Amino acid sequence: TLTLALTLTLTLTSELCYLVSGQLEIVPKDTGVPVLVNPGDFVTFPEGFVSDWTVREELTWHYYLY
């Protein structure tokens, strides 16, 4: 099993994301509270959002940067 961990900072853009398959754990820097994103979830990441991501299962997703 491969686990990918990274820190994401969105600058100059926001993102809308729909997870088709896989599992992602997101820990926002401002709260420190982990959030699991599962297939069928629709999430929004505002400009300036800083978080740690851990990919728990390989992801397939659709996203839109705006």
- With b for 16 or more beta-carbon neighbours within 10 A and e for fewer, the 10-33 pattern comes to eeeeebebebeeebbbbeeeeeee
Model confidence over 9-44: pLDDT tens digits?
A: 878 889 999 999 999 999 999 999 999 999 999 999
Model confidence over 43-64: pLDDT tens digits?
A: 999 998 999 999 999 999 999 9
What is the DSSP secondary-structure string of 2-61? Answer: --EEEEEE--S--EEEEEEEEEEEEEETTT---EEE-TT-EEEE-TT-EEEEEEEEEEEE
